[in-house]
Structure 1
Amino acid sequence: MRDASPQTVFLKDYTPPEYLIDQVELNFDLHEQRTQVRSILNLRRNPQSQERSAALTLLGEELQLVSIAIDGQPLEQSQYLLDGEALIVHEVPQDRPFQIVIENIINPQANTALEGLYLSSSMLCTQCEAQGFRKITWFLDRPDVMSRFKTTLTGDKSKYPVLLSNGNKVGQGELENNRHWVSWEDPFAKPCYLFALVAGQLECVADEFVTMSGRRIALEIFVEKHNVDKCAHAMQSLKNAMRWDEETYGLEYDLDLYMIVAVDHFNMGAMENKGLNVFNTKFVLARPDTATDSDYEHIEGVIGHEYFHNWSGNRVTCRDWFQLSLKEGFTVFRDQQFSGDRTSPAVKRIEDVNALRTRQFAEDAGPLAHPIRPEAYIEINNFYTLTVYEKGAEVVRMLHTLLGAAGFRKGCDLYFQRHDGQAVTCEDFVKALEDANGVELEQFRRWYSQAGTPVLTVGQQYDAESQQLHLTIQQSCPPTPNQPVKAPLHIPVKLGLLAADGSAATIHYNGSSQAEITLNVTEAEQTFSFAKLPQQPVVSLLRGFSAPVTLKMERSLDELAFLLRHDSDTFNRWEAGQQLAVQVIFKLIDAIELSRPLQLEPVIVDAYRSVLTDSGGDLSYQALLLALPEESYLSGQMAIIDVEAIHQAREFVKKTLAEQLHAEFKQLYVQHHLDESGIFDAGAVGRRRLKNACLSYLSKLENEDVYHIAEQQFYSARNMTDQMAALSAIVNSNHPAKARSLDSFYMQWRQEALVIDKWFTLQATSSMPNTFATVQALMKHPAFDMKTPNRVRSLIGAFSQANPLHFHAINGEGYRFLADQVLALNTLNPQIASRMVTGLAQWRRYDAARQGLMKQQLQRIVATEHLSKDVYEIASKSLA
C-alpha cells in the first residue's frame, strides 16, 4: 500500500497567498553531499489575502533544518513546527514587514529525482519548475509570489571554477583553502520556479547580440570542455530567436547577459530560468557528424522556445499551475511560428499536426484527458502534457486565425504592457486580445475548460439549378472524465474550393468574393451556402489544420487523389495523401481479418507516382508527401486496435509501392545522393530527406542491390542524417551486415552520449523479430544508465511508446517489462517513472486479452508500497 492518500489540488480552491516575499538573499556553500543554504526572506502580509492567520507556512522537502530566526531573534523549537513538507512558524508580525533567516542542509548527490539542487556528472545544477525550489530551502513555493533575488555562491575553485545564477554578476572574490565566491543579482521580480544556479568545470562559448535599440547583450553558452565544438548552431539559433522576437512581436531582451548551460541529466528539454537557461544537452549540442537535420531543427526550436519565455512566461508569468498553458501553449505557438519562418512553413505545420494527431489526440481520447487548463491535479509535474503544450498552442493559433496577424499582435502588445511583472491567468490573456480588438470571445473560452477532441461531421449538397453549394457542419465531442456533456465550441474552419481543372474556384460568401475564407462554426449544426458555382467544386476544408479537430467527410479515393495533385493549401494536399493511404490501408485490414488475399488499389500507386515525378519545389515537403500514416495514427482510427493487422497492412502498402515504383524511387535516390557533410540549409536538408525517404521504401525490397546501397551509404556517410537513415534501413530489414553495422556504429560513437541514445532507440523501435530480446539485453549494456533520463527515454520510452507491434505482443511480456521499469524508476526519478506509465494508459482501446494484461500491470503498480504521487496519479487515473 501507499504511505498515504495523496491530496488533490483544485483550481476552484485557489486563494491569494497570505504573505509576499519582496526580497530574497540566498547564500550557498556548495558541496556534493552537504550543501549549506542560508536564505534571508523579507516578507509582509499580502493585502489581497482574505486569510488572517498569525502563522506562516513555508514549504520544503528533504531539507535538514539548522536554524531559523525572525528579525535577528533565533526561534525556539516551541515557536515552529516541522510537519511533513511544511515549516510552520506559529506567529509572525502582522502589522509590518519582517525578515526570516533560515539555514538548512541538502544533499545534491542523493537527489536522483533531479528536482531542486542536484549533481549531474560533476556539475551542480538546479531545476525548480514546477515545485523544485522547496527542495532547496523552505519557501512560499508558488508562482504568484514574485521576489527579487540576490544569490551568492561559494565553492571549491578546482571543482567549481564557474559559479552562475540569475541576473547580473555584482561581485566575486577569493577565499582561503582554494575557495572562491560569486554574487548575482536579478533586477526583475520572479517566482522561485525561475531561480537557477550552476556550478562546475565548464567552458564558455561567447558572442554578442545588438538589440533593436542598440544595446549590446553578452551571450554565453557553458558546456563541458569536450563539447565546445558543438555550440555554434545553438549560438546562432539564439541570435536568430532574439532578432525574430524583435521583428515579429517587438520584444527586446531586458538584461545585459543571457546564459545557457547544457547538462547531461535533465528531466525536461530545457528550462527558461531568468537569464540562465538550463538545457538538456540534446537541445544544445550539434555538429554535422553527430546530429541529424531533425536535431538541428529541434535545437533551434527549443532555443527559441526558452528565449521567447523571457516575455511569455518570465516577465508575465502564470498565477497558479492550472494556468500552465498560459505560458507554455502561447510560447509553443511562438516557437512554431519561428521555426516555420526559419525552415519551411508547410513542413513545420505538417510535422506539428502529425505529432498532435498521433499523440495528443490519443491523450484526449483516454482516461488522462484534461482541458488545457486543468481543474485538478495530484502532482503538477504530470500536467506538463501534450494537451497543455501542443493543444494549448493550437488554441492560441485559432485566436491568431480569428483576429488576423495584425489583430493578434495588437492584443499581445496590450497583454505584455498591461501585465508586465505580474502573475496572471488564461482569462487575462484572452481579455487583452478582446480589449485590443473590440471583439467578444466568450464562447471561445470553452476551449480552456473542455477536454477532448471535437469531431466535425460534414455533409455537402450541390444544386446545379441554383449553382449553389450547401455545406452542413455538425460539431460534437465525446465524453471525457468528469465531462460527459460538451457545449458547442467556437471553431474556425478555413475553406477553399477547387474547380474541375484543379484551379481555385472563387468563393462568394456574405457579399464578398475570395479564394479562401474562414467559417465560424459556433453551433451544434450549421449550414453554409455558396453561390455562383456553375459546376460542383471539390471542397478543401480545414485548411492549414485551422482547428484541432477530427474531420469526418466522405471522400472517394479519386477525390483524395485529385486533392493530392491540385490543392494549393500545402497542409490539405498532404492530408489528402494521408487520407488516401488511410482508406487503402483499412481496406487491407478488412481483407486481413477476413483472410482474403491482399491487393493494392491502383489509385494510390498512380498518386505516389505523381508525387515522385513532381520535380522542383520544396524537397522536404515532397518527402513528407511520400510518408505513409504512422501506425500510432492508424491506431487512433480504430475502435478496437489491431496492432498486427495495422502493421501488416501498412507494410504491404509500403513494400508494394516500392516494387511498383522501384525505378522512380531509385532515380530520385541517385539524383539526390550528394556529399553534403557540413551543409545545413533548406536545399541540402531537402535533398537528404527525399533521398532517405526513397531509401526507406527501397529497403523493403530485401535484395542484394538495396543491401549494397544501404551499407555503402552507412560507411561512406559524412553526416549523421545519412548515417542514421542507412543504419535504420539495415536494422529494419534482414540485411546480413546488421550486427556488424550496429557494432561499428557503437564503436565509432561510444564517446558521444547523444549519438548512443540514437543507437539505443533505433534498436528499441525495430519492427523485426526478437526486438524484445534485444531490448532486454540492452538494459544490461554498460552504456545503459537508469539515472540518466535521456537514456531511459531512448530505450524504455522508445520501446513502450514507439514500437506498438512488439510492446503490445499478445503474451504481455512488454507490459510486464514496462511495469518493472516504472517501479524501478519510482524511487529514483518519479517524474520520469510517471511518464513511462502512459504506455499502459490506453488499455481499454485493445482486445480483451490485452486489456486484461495491461490492467493487471497497472493494478500491480498502484498496489506497490511507497509509490510516488507522480506515478500513483497516472496509474490510478488510467484505471478509473
Structure 2
Amino acid sequence: MLDALSASAQPRVVRRGDYAPPAWLVPDLALHFTLDPARTIVRATLKVERNGAHDLPLLLDGDGLELLALRVDGAAVDPVFAGEQLSIALAGDAHEIETEVALAPERNTQLMGLYASGGLLCTQCEAEGFRRITWFPDRPDILTRYRVRLEADKARYPILLSNGDPVASGDLAGGRHFAEWHDPFPKPSYLFALVAGDLVANRTGFVTRSGREVSLAIWVRAPDLAKTDHALHALETAMRWDEQVYGREYDLDVFNIVAVDDFNFGAMENKGLNIFNSRYILADPDTATDYDYDAVAAVVAHEYFHNWSGNRVTCRDWFQLSLKEGFTVLRDQQFSADQGSPAVKRIEDVRSLRAAQFPEDAGPLAHPVRPDEYQEISNFYTATIYNKGAEVIRMMHTMLGAERFRQGADLYFDRHDGTAATVEDFVRAMEDASGADLAQFRLWYSQAGTPRVQALLSHEPGDGRARLSLRQSVPPTPGQPVKQPMALPLRIKLFGAETAAPLAAEQLVELRDETAEIVFEGVSERPVLSINRGFSAPVIVDANRPAADLAFLSAHDDDPFARYEAIQQLMLDTLVLGVTQGRADHGAVIAAVRATLRDRALDAAFIAEAVLLPSESFIGDQMAMVDPEAIHRVREALRRDLAQSLAADWRAAYEGAHANRFEYSPAAKGARRLRTVSLGYVMASGAPDAPEIAFAQFEAADNMTDRQGALTALVNSDADCREAALDIFYHRYSDNALVLDKWFSTQALATRDGTLDRVIELAQHRDFTLANPNRARALVGAFSVNQRAFHTAGGGGYAFVADQLIALDKLNPQTAAKLVPALGRWRRFDAERAQAMRGALERILAVPGISRDMFEQVSKSLE
C-alpha cells in the first residue's frame, strides 16, 4: 500500500507562456468503480500514445490517492514520484497503464473529486478534481473517450449514472448491481462525472431538428420531484433556442441532470450528466422567489449551452477559461432576454457586473479576462472571467452585427469541433467570417481594469453643429501600470432639449484612439447626449451631464437601458454630493421618480428597477475613500424623502401591483417586483400602518417572492412584529435547507443597527454549518457584502469573517478563498478600518497549514 501526500500550501506559479503540448495523449480510458462511501476502489486502464518525437516520461496527476497497484502493459512496476506527479518511463509509442486506488468519499469535505452528499455519491472535477479520483494527466487539452463501469449496493444506490449513453446494467451477487456508460465524444477529464444514489426522475422526451430522439431526466430525491417541472421546461426551451439561434443540436441519446445539496458552484456541465447545486433546480411558488425561478432557467440553459461552447469545443488550457465561460454567459443572457424583458435583463446583467466585476477590476485581485499566471486556477472563476468575458464577446456581437457574429460562431464551432481551442481561435473565426480586423480588440483579453471614457458635448447654435469630444483611459492595475487605448464600441444618440425629438439616428462609434471627436451636423436645438446606450461597452462614462439633462433622459430617452441609467446617475450624483458636502437637493430625484412611477407606457418591472436607489456598496465605489456610515445616513435620508414626498404614489403602485394568485410570467413577475419595491418605500416613509401592511402581506402571501419581500422590509426595520415574522418564517421552513438559507441571508444583509451581533449569534445557531457551501455563503458571504454592518466601527465584522474563513479553509478551501475579496478592499477605507482589515488578513495568512487557494487570495490582497 502506497500513499501519495496531499498538495502543500506552498505557492506554485503556473504561467501561460510556459504552455507546451502534452507529451502523451490518452485516447481511451476505462474506469471501474466499486463504490462505497467509506472506501471506494477505482481501477483505471489508460491507453496512452506518445505525442511527437521525445523521450519524456508519462506524468500522471494525483491528489490524496491511496495507490494500491500500478501496471504497465500488464506487468507490475514500482511507482516513481516527481513532486506531486507519478512519473512512468516508457520506451515505445503506445502502452496500456493500469492503476488501482482507494478513496474515502465521506471524508472529502473539499467537495472536489468523488464525495458524499446527503446519501449520494457524486463528483466535481472542474478544474482539477479528477486527480482526486485516479491518476491521470489532469489537463483540459487531453481529450479522451471514456467507458465507465459502476458497481454499488443496489438498496443504497439504486441509480448509477455517468457521462454519455448507458450501454449495460444488471444485478450482481450480494445485493449489488452495476451500470456501464460510454461517452463516444472525446472530452477532457474535468468533464467526467458520476452519481450514485436513491433518486427519482422527472422525465420527458425531446426531438432534435434532425429527428434525433433524446431522453431528458432530472434526478432528485423523491420529496423534491414536484419542484423540478420548471427546470425541465427550461431545459427543453434552451435546447430548442440553441437550435434556432446558434444552430447547435444535442448529440447523445440521453441528457441527465442531478441535483445535490453540497456543491461548490452553481452547476457543472459534465457531458450528458450535468450536476447542479439544488438551489438551481428546485422551484415551486411557496419556496422559490421569482429571482430563483429566473436563476434556475438561466443556469439550466447555461450548462446545456456548454455542450457546444465548452464540451464539443473545450479549452486548450485554463488560461482560456473565458473562452467557454464568457461565451456561454453571453448565450445564457441572450436566452433569458428572449424569455422575458430584454431591457430588464440588460439592467440586471449590468448591475451584477458593476457590483462584482468593477470592484474586482479596481482592487488588488484585478486580472485580465485571460490571465498570464495563477497559483490556484480555482481562484480565477471570477466575475472578470464570466461577466466581463461575456461583455467582451457581446462587444464583438455589437461591432460585427448579429448576422456576421452568427457566421463567426458557426465557423468557430465547425473549425474546432472535437479540439481544445484558444481565445485566438475564437477571435480569428470572427475575423475570418466577417472580414473585420480585431487586432486591437484583443487587448480586452490581456489588459485588466475598467476603461473610463470622458465625454464632453458642445453645441454651436449658429452653425447647427454639435461636437462630442471623447477621451479614454485605462487605470493601472497590479502588474500593469501602463495601458494601451482599447477598441470601444459606443452607441450614441442626441435628443433635442426642447422638442425631445431625436436629432439624428443612433450611431455606433468605435473609439480606438485615446481621443476622438465626432461632429453632428444639422443640430437645430440644444442637444442632450445619450451615450453607451444598451451598455454597449463595459466602461465607466464621465459625461458630466447636469441634473436637468439626466431628468430629461429619464423621461424621454428611447433606449430603455439609457433611460434607466439616466435616473440612476441622477440619484448617484445626488447621493455622492450628499456624502461629500453634507447635503444635497432631492428635488430633481423626486420629480424624476414621480414621472417614472406615473408613466403608464412603462412596464412594472422596468419601473421597479429604475426607482430603486443605488446600493450603498455602489455609492462607495464612486468615492476615493468609503465612509460607510455617511453613505448609509445620506442614502436613508433620500429614501425617506422619496417615501414621504411620494407616499400616495407608492401606495397606489403597491395596490395596483396586487395579484390574487401566483403566475410565472413577465407581467406577473414585474407586478411582484414593483409591489416589493413599493412596500420598501411605504416602510421607509415611517407611516404608522406600514409594519401592519408588511406583516399582512407576509402572512397572506401565496408565493415566496411576496413573503420574502415583506420579511426583508420588516427585518430592515425596528417594527415590533419583526421577530415574530422571523420566527414564523423559520418554523414554517425549518426542514427546507434552501429556504433556510434565505432566512440566514435576509438577516445577514439587514442594514439596521445590531446586525453584526445578530450574525455572530446566527453563526452559533443549530442550523448553521460551514460544511455546506450554500449555508456558508448565506451567512458569511451575505454579511461580507453588507457594507454598513461588515464595516462596523471597531473591526468586529472583520474579525468575525476572518474567524469563519479560517475554519472554512480547513473544510473547503475553494469556498473559503472566494470570500476573501471583501477584506482585500482595505485601501479604500479610513486608517482605522484599513488597519483592522489588514490585521484580519495577516491573521489568516499566519495560520499553519493554510490552503493554496487561501494563500493566493490573502497574499495578493496584502500586496
TM category (shorter chain) comes to over 0.9
> Does the alignment pair 1:106 with 2:90?
no
> What residue in structure 1 maps to residue 697 of structure 2?
713
Is residue 149 of structure 1 aligned with residue 133 of structure 2? Answer: no
> Does the 8 A contact of 2:574 with 2:584 survive in 1?
no
Q: CA deviation at 1:649?
A: 0.7
Is 1:45 aligned to 2:50, yes or no?
Answer: yes
Q: What is the CA distance between 1:6 and its match in structure 2? A: 1.3
Inter-partner Cα distance in structure 2 for 1:826 and 1:472: 50
1:260 maps to 2:257: yes
Identify the residue that residue 319 of structure 2 maps to in structure 1. 322
Output aligned runs, 1:478-517, within 5 Å: 478-501=475-498, 503-507=500-504, 515-517=505-507
Deviates further, 823-832 or 210-219: 210-219
Does residue 1:849 correspond to 2:848, yes or no? no
- 1:237 maps to 234
CA distance in 2, matches of 1:583, 1:21: 59
Post-superposition offset of 1:599: 5.8
SS of residue paired to 2:166: strand
Q: Which of 591, 608, 611 is matched with 1:606 structurally? A: 591
User: Mapping of 1:156-175 within 5 angstroms?
Assistant: 156-175=153-172
TM-score by length of 2: 0.98
SS of match in other structure, 2:671: helix
Find the aligned partners of 1:45 and 1:84 in 2 and give their Cα distance: 22
Rounded to whole Å, the distance in 2 between the matches of 1:322 and 1:399 is: 20
Distance 1:143 1:502, change over 3 A: farther
Give the conservation status (yes or no) of the 8 Å contact 2:577–2:584.
no
C-alpha displacement at 1:327, in angstroms? 0.2
Distance 1:590 1:107 in 2: 57
CA contact (8 A) 2:498 2:525 kept: no
Aligned partners of 2:9 and 2:214: how far apart in 1? 50
Question: 1:510: which partner in 2?
Answer: none
1:24 paired to 2:21: no
1:136-176 Cα deviation digits (max 9, x unpaired): 00100000000000000000001100000000000011111
2:51 is the alignment partner of 1:61: no
Q: Deviations over 1:587-607 (max 9, x none)?
A: 221343xxxxx5642111111
Q: Letter of the aligned partner of 1:207 in structure 2?
A: T
Give 1:3 deviation, angstroms.
5.5
2:248 alignment partner, SS class = coil
Give the equivalent residue in structure 2 for 1:797. Answer: 781
Indicate if the aligned counterparts of 1:54 and 1:93 stay in contact, CA closer than 8 A.
no
Post-superposition Cα deviations, 1:171-209, rounded to whole Å, max 9, x if no partner, equal: 011111100000000010000000000000111110111
Question: What are the equivalent positions in structure 2 for 1:354-433 lying under 5 Å apart?
Answer: 354-433=351-430
Instruction: State whether structure 2 residue 862 is matched by structure 1 residue 879.
Output: yes
- How many residues matched? 857
Check conservation: 1:502, 1:566, Cα contact below 8 A. no
Most deviating of 413-422 and 854-863: 854-863
The answer to whether the 8 A contact 2:404-2:434 is kept is: yes
Kept after mapping to 1: 8 A contact 2:169/2:177: yes
Partner of 1:750: 734
| Partner Cα separation in structure 2 for residue 522 and residue 8 of structure 1 | 34
Secondary structure of 1:370's partner? coil
Secondary structure of 1:475 counterpart? strand
Residue equivalent to 1:85:
84
Q: Distance in 2 between matches of 1:82 and 1:829?
A: 26
Q: Secondary structure at the match of 1:459?
A: strand
User: Which residue in the other structure is 2:679 paired with?
Assistant: 695
Deviations 1:269-314 (A, max 9, x none): 0000000000000100000111001100011000000000000000
Letter of the structure 1 residue corresponding to residue 552 of structure 2 = F
Contact 1:65 1:105 in 2 (8 A): yes
Deviation at 1:615, TM superposition (A): 1.7
Q: Select 2:629's aligned residue among 633, 639, 644.
A: 644
Partner of 2:511: 521
Matched to 2:827, the amino acid is: R
Residue-by-residue CA offset, 1:90-125 (whole Å, 9 max, x unaligned): x2133x311001000011011100000000111000
Correspondent of 1:564 among 547, 550, 554 = 554
User: Is the Cα contact below 8 Å between 1:27 and 1:38 reproduced in 2?
Assistant: yes
Residue type at the aligned position of 2:833: R
How far off its partner does 1:128 sit? 0.2
Structure 2 residue 276 is the aligned partner of structure 1 residue 270: no
| Aligned pair partner of 1:180 in 177, 180, 184 | 177
CA offset digits 1:52-95 (Å, max 9, x no partner): 234221000000000011111111x2xx3135521112x2133x
Aligned to 1:809: 792
Farther off after superposition, 626-635 or 184-193: 626-635
Partner of 1:704, secondary structure, is: coil
Separation (CA, whole Å) in 1 of partners of 2:470 and 2:519: 11
1:196-235 matched pairs, under 5 angstroms: 196-235=193-232
CA distance in 1, matches of 2:499, 2:817: 49
Cross-structure match for 1:585? 575
* Greater mean alpha carbon deviation, residues 612-621 or residues 147-156: 612-621
Contact 2:8 2:852 in 1 (8 A): no
> Which of 746, 756, 778 is 1:772 aligned to?
756
How far residue 702 of structure 1 moved from its aligned partner, in angstroms, is 3.0
User: What is the Cα deviation at residue 676 of structure 1?
Assistant: 2.1
Structure 2: any 5+ residue segments left out of the alignment? 1-6
Letter in 1 for 2:68: V
Asked if 2 retains the 8 angstrom alpha-carbon contact of 1:496 and 1:504, the reply is no
Match of 2:802 among 819, 836, 844: 819
Q: Deviations over 1:372-418 (max 9, x none)?
A: 00000000000000000000000000000000000100000000000
Distance in 1, Cα, partners of 2:393 & 2:86:
40
AA of the residue aligned to 1:554: N
CA contact (8 A) 1:152 1:182 kept: yes
Give the Cα separation in 2 of the matches to 1:658 and 1:296: 29
Q: 1:133 aligns with which of 130, 133, 148?
A: 130
**Structure 1 residue 552 and structure 2 residue 542: aligned?**
yes
Task: Look up the equivalent residue of 2:45 and give its one-letter code.
Answer: I
2:4 counterpart residue number: none
Q: Which runs of 4+ in 1 moved over 2 A?
A: 2-5, 82-85, 500-507, 598-601, 701-704
Q: CA RMSD of the aligned region, Å?
A: 1.1
CA distance in structure 1 between the aligned counterparts of 2:592 and 2:395, rounded to whole angstroms: 32
- State how far apart, in whole Å, the 1-side matches of 2:795 and 2:378 are: 29
Counterpart selection for 1:10 from 12, 15, 18: 15
Comparing 206-215 with 707-716, which one deviates more in the overlay?
206-215
State the Cα deviation string for residues 727-777 of structure 1 (Å, max 9, x = none).
Answer: 111111111011111010011011111111000000001111111111111
After TM superposition, give the deviation of residue 501 of structure 1 in Å: 4.4
Aligned runs of 1:647-686 on 2, under 5 Å? 647-677=632-662, 679-686=663-670
Task: Judge conservation of contact 1:66–1:104 (CA < 8 Å) in 2.
Answer: yes
Q: TM-score, normalised by structure 1?
A: 0.96
Query: Would you say the 8 A contact 2:496–2:503 is kept in 1?
Result: no
Question: Residue 724 of structure 2 corresponds to which residue in structure 1?
Answer: 740
Alignment of 1:278-357 (within 5 A): 278-357=275-354
Q: Deviations over 1:216-275 (max 9, x none)?
A: 211000001110010000000001100110110011111111100000000000000000
